Amino acid sequence: YDIFADICGRINCAPEFVETSWDAMVAVMGGQGDNTTFDVGADGITITEARAEHVDFSMPYIASQQVLMARIDEDRFEQPADFAANTDLVIGTQLGTTNYEAAKNLVGEDRIVAYDQFGTAVQALINGDVDAVMIDNVAGQGYVGVNADKLKLTGDAVESEELGFIFAKGSPLVAPVDAALQSMMDDGTLDTLFSKWFDTEAAE
Across the chain, where does the E strand assignment appear? 41-46, 55-57, 62-71, 91-94, 112-115, 132-136, 151-168
Domain count, the chain: 2
Lowest-confidence segment of 106-110, 165-169, 181-185 by average pLDDT: 165-169
Mean pLDDT over 178-196 rounds to 91
Cβ proximity of 46 and 61 under 8 Å: no
Quick: pLDDT tens for 86-121: 999 999 999 888 899 999 999 999 999 999 888 999
Tell me, yes or no, whether 90 and 49 share the same domain: no
Strand partners, 133: 69, 92
Does 98 or 179 have the greater pLDDT score? Answer: 179
Q: Is residue 202 part of a domain?
A: no
Q: Which residue has the higher pLDDT, 131 or 168?
A: 131
Q: How many CB atoms lie within 10 A of CB 168?
A: 21
pLDDT at 15 over 70: yes
Residue 193 structural domain: 2-62+161-197
CATH of the domain at 123: 3.40.190.10
The predicted structure's pLDDT at residue 19: 81
Shared domain check, 142 and 89: yes
CB 105 within 8 A of CB 82: no
Does some domain include residue 191? yes
40 in a domain, yes or no? Answer: yes
Evaluate whether residue 203 is within a structural domain: no
